[in-house]
Amino acid sequence: MEEISAVPLIGVVADSGLHGGQHSQNVKDKYLHALALAGAAPVILPQGLIAAPEQLERALSVLDGIFLTGSASNIEPHHYLSAEQGEDLSPEAHPDAGRDQLAFALIDHALERSMPLLTVCRGTQELVVRTGGKLFRRLWEQPGLIEHREDTSADLATQYAPAHGFSIAAGHHLSELMGDTTEWRVNSLHGQGIATLGDRLDVEGRAEDGLIEAVSVAGHPFALGVQWHPEWNSRDDALSCRLFDAFIAQAQRFHARTHSNGEAV
């Protein structure tokens, strides 16, 4: 059997956009660094894989976990809202349809194969939507909620500094990671957020205003999503550090279980 300390391969979803006037796909360094510092080898997954099922399946066959990052883009609303119910299906200001499609396929794979899955910000919203939930498209218009967007005029250190309290729900992954600690402070850089959950998700914790800030998939070994950005200085914050370490440990176990006899999932 493979050593449980083997370096796991983590698939990371790519964003699309323009770079120097040319179409490109990328992942911000902060996400790749957080994974590497926790002991993983990140592998960027381009959106074109969604149009090449055999290539996507081959890529997934060697991976030990999936990581869905945050992004400046938003999920297209037709994935979770209904025109028949009179809901607003106007296009998002920053859509990324290819990311929607690839992320949903990666979520399906991770849930079907019990592959470890960690999601951040937009990635968590993708997990919520794919499992039957809905989003608030404009959090700042929701009564009773605090401001969850960052001050874009501030420097990055200020934008990513802890911004509000977070209550950890008992009996789930985060409470296991943090032990007797039930309150923490997290950063906040999102204009959309979780409105409702589908039946497969459990609430892992809430912001001080009651907004759901962390979720997990019931019955899955490790499929966990957080709305804040734990990748920022991930080794300096206890919750962030334990979150990435737990994810990588689960990926190592997945590797040992599924590749010990030369088999691929």
**Strand-pair partners of 66:** 11, 117
Active-site residue among 126, 150, 204, 231?
A: 231
Count CA atoms closer than 13 A to 177's CA, side-chain side.
24
231 in active site: yes
CA dist 221 and 95 (Å) reads 31
To the query of whether residue 229 is one of the catalytic residues in this protein, the response is yes
What's the one-letter identity of residue 190?
A: H
Active-site annotation holder among 121, 150, 173, 241: 121
Single out the catalytic residue among 172, 190, 220, 229. 229
> In terms of Cα–Cα distance, which of 120, 211, 207, 212 is closest to 164?
207
89 HSE (CA, 13 A, CB side): 10
Tokens found for residue 204: 């892992």
**Cβ atoms < 10 Å from Cβ of 178:** 17
Q: Where are the alpha helices (DSSP H) in 41-119?
A: 53-61, 97-113
Neighbouring residues of 139: CB distance < 8 A, sequence distance ≥ 6: 145, 148, 149, 190, 191, 192, 193, 211
Pick from 89, 128, 85: nearest CA to 224: 128
Measured CA to CA, the distance from residue 42 to residue 232 in angstroms comes to 16
Residue among 225, 207, 232 at smallest CA distance from 110: 225
| Residues belonging to the active site | 121, 229, 231
